[in-house]
Structure formats: structure tokens, C-alpha cells
Amino acid sequence: MPVSQITKIAKITRKSTVCDNMKDKREKEENIRLPLPEKQENEMFALVEQVLAGSRMHVVCADGKSRLARIPGGKRRSMRRIKMGDLVIISPWEIQDEKADIVHKYKRNQARYLSRRNILPEEIDVFHR
């Protein structure tokens, strides 16, 4: 077998292994660039059930409880447009467990992404897969 044919075969096999390694690398590395609830700070997912006046709303939490949530003072401008059915992260109060603060609001496409990745608990996963 001439040398030129051997080098062509080696180049082809090397190229295919590089592609295989890239596929494996893409499958292994999955970074989610969305804020997730921190269990150490007692945060959890919730769905907005009803919007009330004064930056307050009823939410259904991942633990199955219904709480009265509010948007804290400094975050009112950034989370002004919370609607019924939005996915949020809440932090229950330590003193009164039936009340909570809203920490973060997800956009609709972000909520669908979390649903597709099976990150949302089944109690509040109402987004289409």
C-alpha cells in the first residue's frame, strides 16, 4: 500500500474521532444560565394564581401550599409585569409561613425550557412539553 493512501485513511479516522469527541462534549456539558431556587435559602418555584393590588399575589408553591406573595420594594420596577400563570421563585417568610417574597420572575420561554429539562416539580409544571 502506498504511503499516501495510508495517510489519507489516518486523516479520515482522526477526523471522525474528533467529531465524536465534540458530540460527547456537547452532550456532557449542559449549563443552565437561569437562576434556580437555592434550597439553603429556602427558595422554591411557584405559579402565580391570582394577581391582587399593591404588588401582591396568590401563588401556588412547589410544596403544594398556597401563599400570599409580594414583590419587595427594590424589585417592584423590574418585576412590574407579573401576570396570572407566570413562573416565579419565592422565598417564604420565616415568621409567617403563609406569606412569601418574590425573588425572580421567569419569562414564558424560560419556563418552557425548565419544563422541557424536567427541572420543574410536577405540582406546578403546567407548561407544554
- Domain range summary for the chain, segments of one domain joined by +: 1-30, 39-116
Supply the pTM of this predicted model.
0.70
Reported confidence tier of residue 124, pLDDT bands at 50, 70, 90: confident
Q: What percent of the chain has pLDDT over 90?
A: 26
**DSSP-assigned beta bridge partners for residue 50:** 58
39-116 adopts what CATH topology? Answer: OB fold (Dihydrolipoamide Acetyltransferase, E2P) (2.40.50)
Burial class (CB in 10 A: 0-12, 13-18, 19+), 128: exposed
Say which amino acid occupies 34. Answer: L
Residue 2 has a pLDDT of 54
Q: What percent of the chain has pLDDT over 70?
A: 68
| Residues whose CB falls within 8 Å of the CB of residue 5, separated by 6 or more in sequence, listed in order | none
d(CA 88, CA 86): 6
pLDDT digits (tens, 9 = 90+) for 15-64: 444 555 555 545 544 567 888 888 888 999 999 999 998 789 999 999 88
d(CA 129, CA 10): 44
pLDDT of 129 over the 60 cut: no
**Kind and range of the H or E run holding 61:** strand 56-61
